[in-house]
Amino acid sequence: MRINKHSERTEAVEGSDYERTAAVVDELLAQRTVESPSAAIGYEAFAALVISRLQAEGCNPLKPLLHEVLTHADGVRIQKVPVDGQIQRHLCGRAWAVPPADN
């Protein structure tokens, strides 16, 4: 899943963060969601799960890095959708199997 958009120097510095973020995204997509071509889940809700998991593992998650990983995740596309007069991002192609708990 590695993306070679960055220089080798940048990739070497970010490599472990990117790989760890990608691993957590893949794990949570597999555990908490199911493929569903016509469904979508909230981008922010899923991102919060990923960030929480990374922080629990002692990582300092970077939102731009998370967005890059989600942009290249298999079976997922990010789409801006109007909701109650506001534009929100959704992860299309996935449905919650285990929704996040409301806090």
Distances (CA, A) of 102 to 3, 21, 56, 94, 97: 33, 23, 19, 19, 15
85/32 Cα distance (integer angstroms): 28
What does each of the 103 residues of the chain score in pLDDT, given as a tens digit? 434 444 343 444 456 889 999 999 999 999 999 999 999 999 999 999 999 999 999 988 889 999 999 999 988 999 999 989 999 999 999 999 998 885 4
- What are the residue ranges of helices labelled H in the chain? 8-32, 43-56, 63-71
The pLDDT of residue 102 is 59
The pLDDT of residue 85 is 94
The pLDDT of residue 26 is 96
The pLDDT of residue 60 is 86
What residues does each domain of the chain span? 8-96
Tell which CATH architecture fits domain 8-96. Orthogonal Bundle (1.10)
What's this model's pTM, rounded to 2 decimal places?
0.80
The pLDDT of residue 11 is 47
